[in-house]
Amino acid sequence: MTKLETTINTVLQQLKPKLASETWESRRRYFNQMIRLAEKLNITEPCQELYDAFIADDNSSHERHSLHVRCVKLVDASAGTQAKDEHGILFNEPSIPDEATVQKFFQSCEFPITNGVRIDYLIVKAGIEMKYLNLTDSTIGQYRHSWMDICRYFNAASSHVYDEALMQDYLQEINIQRSNNSMKEWKWKINRKAAHVLMEVAGTGCFHWETIHKNISCNTPEAEYIRQQYTNSIKQRNLSQSTIGLHDYVFRKTVEFAGIETQEDLLSLTPEAVQLVISKLADNCSRRSMATILPILRSMLKSLHTYSLIKRELAGMVMGGFVHRGSVATYISEKNQTDLVTGLDQESKRTRAVIFLALRLGLRDCDICNLTFQEIDWQHDKIRLVQKKTGEPLVLPLLPDVGNALMDYILNERPKRNDHYPYIFLRKQAPYNKLTSVYSTCSKLLNRMGIKPVNGNATGVHLFRYSLVHRLLAAKVPHQVIKDTLGHTSKESDKPYLSMEESMLRMCALDLSVIGRMTWKGDGING
């Protein structure tokens, strides 16, 4: 009897008490097929060559293929051949340690990890630290698959212990796979996140959910040094963080699109290269965005020339594009507002509360997302907040329908958290952190209900703010009251809203009666 036959007999004996007689007999027939194939190939013991040939001999049947793989796994496990599938993954991967063993091990471990911690121990530790997020089973399964990918990468590098340098190599590898389309975007995201979880646990012993910020540095150290110098000079101008970010974005895109790698490349920047940068920016940005970006590009070129980082004065060739702006703001008609409120009974409690805050009180997207329990004065029916955009305080009445919608969401739908998390509106999926935007909530609701705005096609939260103003103007509410309601501090901020006061605008319009009327004695006419 060959070694292969002996191994298969052992496997069948182990399976017999576990399987129904019909199932066991089916397995025995498949194992006999493997033995006959081995005789044909002149193979006498379990090996990778036999496994590959047996799996391939499936007659294009998915069921047969699956059963062949199952038989191979059983033989491989019994023979200890450490065989791999077509993806290079072990048929029988080593089992990971249990949680109790891992918890006991890390009790005497210091962080950050510096030596000798097995990667599978760190994976189990990461899973323990993520439990507080209350992730769904499917999400946990995705993380486990990604962690096993990382474990295989370490094993392929002949390393079974955690090493941050090797983890960085892994991240670089999946970035390459993503760029050449050999890894799907969703797979890249979960694998990258799984790697960052392991690195954080290795560094601190725990995990706190946060967004992974993209690497926004330039491609070469020399270009990155210039970028840092430029952004530092921008910060001295007392600009807002968002404006500094825009300047940084324009600089990085200029470096990328113009192919700048060294200081000499920047010094010899040509008009043609600037034109290419403008063209590529236009391909990536809307016309309205270009109206903001082009002045920044002009300012940047002028600044770099002033500091002798560019030989030629190129700022003058950057001309701003004309962007036509609508003369009347977009809003939702009174009838559609009524239909909208009626339709909210079919929506989630969170959506209902968000829409009431936007439609009844005109709150901005950022102020809705950042609304906290401390800002709701239930006893005096007030909302007292500091506007994120302006930093100015704002006090609004807590209208009955708004207050009821908020209370209904808080008591009956808001995800439960064990800590004293201050923000009211949370994500529906774990981790239950505050919302970062409610734009999609508003946009999807309007599309679902078939509501078309007046004077445009906007679907964001600001549309509800405009609609509130239109309703107040129609009710002859004084402008100062509207200004206070919106939290405006500048008269310039009111201009887009006042364009909706149609009756007053009609009084300012000139009629056409003067066209064709004679204006002087003679043969000519004005027209």
Mean per-residue pLDDT pooled into runs of 10, the chain (527 residues):
93 93 93 94 94 92 92 93 83 86 90 86 93 84 91 86 90 87 90 93 88 72 89 85 87 93 93 93 81 91 92 88 63 93 94 96 94 95 92 93 95 89 90 90 93 86 90 84 78 60 58 56 48
Q: Which amino acid is at 8?
A: I
Q: Where are the chain's structural domains? A: 3-79, 99-204, 221-317, 334-507
Q: Check residue 492 and report its DSSP letter.
A: G
Helix and strand numbers (H, E) in the chain are 23, 3
How many CB atoms sit inside 10 A of residue 194's CB?
Answer: 21
Which residues make Cβ contacts (< 8 Å) with residue 223, sequence separation at least 6? 255, 260, 261, 262, 266
Q: Is 370 helix (H, G, I), strand (E, B) or coil?
A: coil
End-to-end Cα spacing for the chain: 112
Report the candidate in 152, 127, 122, 123 with the shortest Cα–Cα distance to residue 137. 127
Chain mean position to CA 214: 11
User: Cα–Cα distance between 457 and 452 in angstroms, integer?
Assistant: 7
Q: Which long-range contacts (CB under 8 A, 24 or more apart) does 174-180 make?
A: none
Which residues make Cβ contacts (< 8 Å) with residue 140, sequence separation at least 6? 127, 130
User: Cα–Cα distance between 37 and 266 in angstroms, integer?
Assistant: 67
User: Cα–Cα distance between 491 and 460 in angstroms, integer?
Assistant: 23
Which residues make Cβ contacts (< 8 Å) with residue 295, sequence separation at least 6? 320
What's residue 269's pLDDT? 94
Chain mean position to CA 38: 52
How many CB atoms sit inside 10 A of residue 423's CB?
Answer: 15
Chain mean position to CA 43: 53
In this structure, are residues 335 and 342 in contact, taking their beta carbons and an 8 Å threshold? no
User: Cα–Cα distance between 363 and 490 in angstroms, integer?
Assistant: 17
Count Cα neighbours of 217 within 13 Å in the Cβ-side half-sphere.
Answer: 9
What's residue 499's pLDDT? 59
Which residues make Cβ contacts (< 8 Å) with residue 413, sequence separation at least 6? 348, 349, 350
In this structure, are residues 299 and 254 in contact, taking their beta carbons and an 8 Å threshold? no
Instruction: For 97-210, list the strands marked E by DSSP.
Output: none
Could you tell me the CA-to-CA distances from 515 to 510, 519, 524, 526 in Å, in that order? 11, 10, 13, 7
Which residues make Cβ contacts (< 8 Å) with residue 422, sequence separation at least 6? 372, 373, 374
Inter-axis angle of helices 221-235 and 241-258, nearest 10: 150
What's residue 500's pLDDT? 61
In this structure, are residues 272 and 289 in contact, taking their beta carbons and an 8 Å threshold? no
User: Cα–Cα distance between 148 and 152 in angstroms, integer?
Assistant: 6
pTM for the complete prediction? 0.54
In this structure, are residues 424 and 357 in contact, taking their beta carbons and an 8 Å threshold? no
Q: What is 221-317's CATH number, 1.20.58, 3.40.50, 1.10.1060, 1.10.150?
A: 1.10.150
Structure tokens given for 13 = 């004996």
Report the candidate in 60, 156, 58 with the shortest Cα–Cα distance to residue 70. 58
Q: Can you name the residues that pair with 376 across neighbouring β-strands? A: 383
Q: Check residue 84 and report its DSSP letter.
A: B
Q: Can you name the residues that pair with 193 across neighbouring β-strands? A: none
Helices (H), 236-317: 241-258, 263-267, 271-284, 287-306
User: Cα–Cα distance between 468 and 283 in angstroms, integer?
Assistant: 35
What's residue 347's pLDDT? 95
Structure tokens given for 154 = 């370490």
Structure tokens given for 67 = 């059963």
334-507, CATH topology level:
hpI Integrase; Chain A (1.10.443)
In this structure, are residues 126 and 207 in contact, taking their beta carbons and an 8 Å threshold? yes
In this structure, are residues 202 and 117 in contact, taking their beta carbons and an 8 Å threshold? yes
Q: Check residue 434 and report its DSSP letter.
A: B
